[in-house]
Every structure is written in structure tokens, then in C-alpha cells.
Structure 1
Amino acid sequence: MFEKTCCVTGHRNIQEERSSYVEQELRREVLAAIQDGYTRFISGFAEGADLMFAAIVAEQKEHNPDLFLEAAIPYAGRLKTKNKQFHELLRACDGIKIVCQEYAPSCFLERNRYMAGESQRVIAVYDGRERGGTLFTMRYAHSIGREVREIRV
């Protein structure tokens, strides 16, 4: 069992002009989590914030072999993506959790619930929209007493 787990939730479409800011802030949050003793990091492996987070953790693993990177995949068919970065980062993972075997409209919410439930800290890349998976995950994490660290975009 891992002592401290941190996950990410965030938007898939990050505006190009905000991309380096988001990457810088995610890097700062990941380094702060490591400093605070977090060793397990879970990414939902969606494009945007999730893959950016996974890349940062994979990079940190090169310097710190105690870190554990887990991919939380919403449904098995998602593994068939043609996204090259997805597959490169998946190879850097120490664990893969497939939340649903078959696609269902709820599988993304189930994946987000799994990640927040496993984590003590949730890093949220959030643009203020009033609906969607990121807001759901932030609200869910708050409701179960998780620390939520928000990166506003």
C-alpha cells in the first residue's frame, strides 16, 4: 500500500497560449507533492492536463525511482488510441487500472471517482466552466475530504 497518492483532473483542450503556464504550474505542483512525501501519482491519461501531468511524473521518476506512476484508463477500448504520446507514457507507468471493460457513458466519471478516492491530493487544472468532468471531480474530491489544489486557466 502506498502512503500518499496524488492525482490530476483537468481539461483536454488547453489553449496553446496557456499551455506553457499550465505545464509550469503542474510541474510546481508535482514537485511540491514529492516534497510533501507523495510517491504514487495517478493520471486519467486523457489528452491535455492528464498527459502533461503523466509526462512530468515520468520525467521525475528518472531521478526518483521511489515514484509510482499509474494510468487510470476509463475503458479497455481506450488503449487502442493512435496517440503516440499516450503509448510512450503508458510504457513509463508502473501500474495500469482499467476502470470499465466496456465503454459506457459513465466510465469517465467512474474513472474520476476512482482517482479521487485513491488520492489524498487532487491537482485540478480548471478553467471555471460550470459543468463537466473536472468540476465533478473537484466537487467529489471535496465531498470525500480530499485536498484540492487548483491551477486556474
Structure 2
Amino acid sequence: MSEEQTEKIRSVLKEKLVKALDDGFVKFISSFTGNVDRAFAEIVLDLKKDHPEIQMLAVIPYRNKLNRMKEQEDIKALLDSCDDITVLKEDYQPSIYIERNRYLAEHSDRAIIVYDGREKGATVNMIRQIHRRHKEMQEIPVGLEIRL
């Protein structure tokens, strides 16, 4: 993903997070899995400076993943700023990311999804989890160009 596209995603993500805050949402959850999840957390934690009622929650699939994440200074700083960290399992299991998505869907009222249209993978699984639970979903579609 290009730097320009990443900045566009961050901009739209911030708009959606500000809107969520305006709509009364104050608890935000991230799995910190990839760049978008980290950008989400960074934006939420930045908004928290002016809105101390915001809570940032991290959901990490298994303990060793958390330990490896804490070895990276930038991610460790984000995790240390979270109000709570939930570790779903002590050890890795093949189905752990499906379980993580299920947990995220169950504990969310609104999901903000950055989606590139792929029909396989964690993001499409997350979308299915959200739909199964009839939760609100806001999509940020990406591809060659962001379609707003």
C-alpha cells in the first residue's frame, strides 16, 4: 500500500472515529494486528487527549503474540496506553483468529472495516461475523483508489 493511500485511509478512519464519538461511542477495540488496526488505535488514543472519557481496549489472540508485540517500542507504547488488554488464549491455536473476530463482533456495536474486496482472509471473516450478529458496519473500501 502506498504512503498516499495509507494517509487517505487514516484520514477517512479519523472521520469515522470522530463521527462515532459524536454518536456517543466511547469504547473502542483494536486487535493491533496490522497497520490499519494500529492506525485505528493511534487515532483513538490521540482523540483521547481531548476526550478523556474514551476507552481504548486491545484484544490480542494469544499470549506469545502479545509478548512479541511488546518487543516493538511503538506498539508497546500504544498497548501501554490502552485501558484494558484482553488476551484470548494462552497458546496459539489454528482457529484463534476466527475466535478473535468472533470476540470483536460480539463486543462491538459498530465496526469500522477497511476492506479491499478479497473474498478470503481475516477481514472478510470479520465482515461475516458482524453480519451474523446484525451489528452496524461502516466500510472504508480500498483498492487502487479509495472509493468514498
TM-score greater than 0.5 by the shorter chain: yes
2:56 matches 1:53: no
Aligned to 2:146: none
Q: Which structure is richer in relative contact order (CA contacts within 8 A, separation 6 or more)?
A: 1
For the residue of structure 1 that corresponds to 2:58, the secondary structure is: strand
TM-score by length of 2: 0.91
* Alpha-carbon separation, structure 1, partners of 2:13 and 2:125: 20
2:65 matches 1:86: no
Please tell me the residue identity of whatever aligns with 1:148: M
Please tell me the residue identity of whatever aligns with 2:66: L
* Alpha-carbon separation, structure 2, partners of 1:133 and 1:17: 24
Aligned to 1:71: 58
* Alpha-carbon separation, structure 2, partners of 1:59 and 1:138: 26
Aligned-pair distance for 1:101? 1.0
TM-score by length of 1: 0.88
* Alpha-carbon separation, structure 1, partners of 2:42 and 2:126: 21
Rate the CA distance shift 1:84–1:47 in 2: closer, same or farther, 3 A.
farther
Say how many residue pairs are matched: 140
Superposition map of 1:106-117 within 5 A = 106-117=95-106
* Alpha-carbon separation, structure 1, partners of 2:61 and 2:12: 25
Superposition map of 1:1-150 within 5 A = 14-81=1-68, 82-150=71-139
* Alpha-carbon separation, structure 1, partners of 2:4 and 2:118: 18
Map Cα deviations across residues 54-107 of structure 1 (whole Å, 9 max, x no partner). Answer: 000000111111000000001010122232221010011000110111011111
* Alpha-carbon separation, structure 2, partners of 1:27 and 1:126: 16
Gaps of 5+ in 2: 143-148
Gaps of 5+ in 1: 1-13
Aligned-pair distance for 1:143? 1.2
* Alpha-carbon separation, structure 2, partners of 1:100 and 1:43: 16
For the residue of structure 2 that corresponds to 1:99, the secondary structure is: strand
- Say which one has the larger Rg: 2
Map Cα deviations across residues 80-135 of structure 1 (whole Å, 9 max, x no partner). Answer: 22322210100110001101110111111111110110011000000000110100
| Sequence identity (%) | 38
